Structure 1
Amino acid sequence: MKEEKNEKLPEFQVEISHPRNKLDISPVEDKIITLEGVAASLPYGSTSGEWGNSGKGWTEQYGTPIGADIKYFSRYEDTFYHLKVDFPVDKIKEYMQRAYAQSEVSMSEESLQEYKILGRNESFNSAQNPYNSFTTLVFGFAPKGMVVVWLRYGIVQIELGKFQAEIIKDDKELEKKFFSKLSVTRAELKQNRFLDISPKEWEDYRIRYSWKPTISSENKNLKRFEMNIIYFNGEAEAILRPWIDNVPLKDRAVPKEINFTWETGANQQFVGRAYFSWEKANEIFRKAGSKGNLEFKVSQDNSSFQILLNGEPLPADSTRVFQTEREFHESYK
């Protein structure tokens, strides 16, 4: 009977991520609170991956997530924390109705929008329906009890908010429960793993500036197709036609990686990629102030591009141009 009920409820995945290796935490007791009152939980095991992306799948959970009650052990801090938080229900309800565009559409003449109100569990078919509704609830556990939660829609990821877990001072029962399953003692783990790290780095990643990305070229045959941006704060954005020709100015975090596609004629489609350093990019965005225009200026022969913020060079850690989508995707292997 319970399975029948779950089949009628919205589904979602859950991921638990950490900033980087050696900064892992392990849930001890956890539950995700749902609007419908059905049970949902975190994945089994410890955090993994990188900030905002654990790289691991999990059994589907059901319902509409509106909060979390999590007790966890920070292995590198030798500290048990308790995160008890209610998500903003009105915001959750609104975002559960959204479906974000993922890619170009090949079998519809309707213009794409950044997102549509399509309801939950919208099926994704790139040929007919290039939108994805809410797919994954993502947790990020930073030092000192800082927790960030994101909502993922396929390739799009949006920060729901930052929350603060409290230190559990009377932790003897949790210690007994947690370490009974480990082959090391708490003292041994602390001796080998203890790190005193501030959450400032991940807090700073949440800084936003008012800016928009643009693609330009001296070649008059330039056609812009899509741009995918991964931000240092764990968010990800997909920019497609037609709004890629006039991207709206809005508050965005500092970009970590940007990939963009353009064409200048038959058999002349290219993909550009740029990676950025947080320190360099953040300083330039900070100095630029409001209304930033991040321009990717493609050379006449499509072999390279400049990156300018309000006309001033913005250095990238690396840039590359690929002549085909296949060459671009193979570069990730």
Structure 2
Amino acid sequence: MNKIIKYLLSFLFFTQISCQEKKDHKITTPMTKYEWSEGTSAALGYPMEVYKGGIDYEGGGWLSLDNGMTPGTYSWGTLSNGMSNNFKGLPIRLDFIWMSYMENQFYLIDKAVDTDKIREYLKKGFDVKVTNGSGDIEHMTYDKFGIGLAPGGVVVVWVAGIGYQKEIGRYQAEKVKIPESEIAKLDSHENRFWRKDYLDMVHSREQIIPAKVREENKGKPIPFGLWDTYRTRYSWKLAFELPEKAKLYPLANVKLTTINGEREQFETTKPPLSQNEMRAIPTKIVFDFVGADGKEYGGECSLNEKSSFEAFKTVFGDTPNSTKADIIVKVNEANSYLTIKLKGENGKEAFIKADSIEVF
């Protein structure tokens, strides 16, 4: 009996030691850190500002987002410059309160983000051509964590790098009211969210909301739900129709921006230029080409939002996966103008108007 008891005690002792070693090993396993900074984005005409809080990241770290106002002067997905560009664990949670100025409403977001998806993007990275004109390829990765804040408490998260930006997820925040007792303790800078002079400045300053945008939005209701519409994806790819004997410039990539804040680039020397993928509606296309005269030209177009939605409605109807389509960029023989057409495999097609076109 004594032998059995001794055996059991020895077994339990060594089992405990073994488990402790595994536990200790788990604790001391080094965590992979990545070099990244944070950035915020607001929709055109709808400035946002974080009141307090920030981002939790792996390893018990925390990063404040109280870095000043994110003005509504740029397109959705344009990220501000972050304050923390160093090596750290990846984001795991959003936990902050912000002010949506055009609603005069505070929102609270307290949600976990898809860290595994972020890690996958950072590990995979992307290839881009270096900007020295050599055509050499450089492998890079995403180095910015972007947070978009839109009316209605919409929060969209992206990862971004040079020439690339990909959506991680969409989250819904809740309306909150800051207690009067908390407001009373704030100093003259911290209580700006409630001061009339500050709010009047936000609504009237050109650098925060362009005058043209203020005038266009005057008297109109806030288009709640619009930024979810931006996330709708369709099966399409880019195609070019260039003058005879002209070709895309082999030492530069074609650059694409879509309405949901994503960006990507395409290799010009390996046909086809791009494959059909589920993408949001395009907003900007930038490319270079060599004309029949051997000269290098640049092309750039910013697509009209209303015309783009109408064209995709014409071709795809109410079902985004009903067909596949091409966005065809056609340059005229004089290398001075271009048109954009959406053409579906179902035989339907529609031209898309542009807010600006440059061929130079």
**Do they fold alike, i.e. is TM over 0.5?**
yes
What is the aligned partner in structure 2 of residue 270 from structure 1? 297
The 3-state SS of whatever aligns with 2:275 is coil
Determine which of 72, 95, 103 is the counterpart of 1:77.
103
Structure 1 pair 265–74 and aligned structure 2 pair: CA distance change class (3 A):
same
What is the aligned partner in structure 2 of residue 299 from structure 1? 332
What is the aligned partner in structure 1 of residue 9 from structure 2? none
What is the aligned partner in structure 2 of residue 59 from structure 1? 84
Distance 1:224 1:238 in 2: 14
Q: What residue ranges of structure 2 are gaps of 5+ in the alignment?
A: 1-31, 204-218, 317-322, 344-348
CA contact (8 A) 2:129 2:135 kept: no
Distance 1:286 1:104 in 2: 38
CA contact (8 A) 2:128 2:137 kept: no
Counterpart code for 2:65: L
Aligned: 1:34 with 2:57: yes
Q: Could you report, residue by residue, the CA deviation over 1:116-155 in whole angstroms, capped at 9, with x for unpaired residues?
A: xxxxxxxxxx875523211111111111211111110112
| Bigger Cα displacement from structure 2, 84-93 vs 137-146 | 84-93
Tell me the CA shift for residue 224 of structure 1.
5.0
Aligned: 1:227 with 2:227: no
Aligned: 1:172 with 2:184: no
Kindly report which structure 2 residues correspond to 1:1-333, keeping only aligned pairs within 5 A, or say none: 9-21=33-45, 23-42=46-65, 44-48=67-71, 49-50=73-74, 51-61=76-86, 62-103=88-129, 129-169=137-177, 171-176=179-184, 180-181=188-189, 186=194, 188=196, 192=200, 197-225=222-250, 226-243=253-270, 245-264=272-291, 267-289=294-316, 290-310=323-343, 312-322=350-360
| Bigger Cα displacement from structure 2, 275-284 vs 187-196 | 187-196
CA contact (8 A) 1:213 1:293 kept: yes
Structure 1 pair 58–315 and aligned structure 2 pair: CA distance change class (3 A):
same
Aligned residues: 298
RMSD: 3.1
Distance 1:57 1:185 in 2: 22
Tell me the CA shift for residue 82 of structure 1.
1.1
Tell me the CA shift for residue 83 of structure 1.
0.4
Question: TM-score scaled by structure 1?
Answer: 0.78
Tell me the CA shift for residue 176 of structure 1.
3.9
Tell me the CA shift for residue 189 of structure 1.
6.5
Q: Could you report, residue by residue, the CA deviation over 1:61-118 in whole angstroms, capped at 9, with x for unpaired residues?
A: 52211221112233333322210111123212211202122325889xxxxxxxxxxx
Distance 1:185 1:157 in 2: 31
CA contact (8 A) 1:144 1:198 kept: no
Counterpart code for 1:251: M
Question: TM-score scaled by structure 2?
Answer: 0.72
The 3-state SS of whatever aligns with 1:220 is coil
Structure 1 pair 260–223 and aligned structure 2 pair: CA distance change class (3 A):
closer
Structure 1 pair 137–88 and aligned structure 2 pair: CA distance change class (3 A):
same
CA contact (8 A) 1:98 1:134 kept: no
Structure 1 pair 80–177 and aligned structure 2 pair: CA distance change class (3 A):
farther
Distance 2:356 2:180 in 1: 49
CA contact (8 A) 2:167 2:262 kept: yes
Q: What residue ranges of structure 1 are gaps of 5+ in the alignment?
A: 1-7, 108-125, 323-333
Tell me the CA shift for residue 264 of structure 1.
3.4
Tell me the CA shift for residue 233 of structure 1.
1.5
CA contact (8 A) 1:276 1:317 kept: yes
What is the percent sequence identity of the aligned residues? Answer: 26
Structure 1 pair 308–202 and aligned structure 2 pair: CA distance change class (3 A):
same
Distance 1:269 1:82 in 2: 51
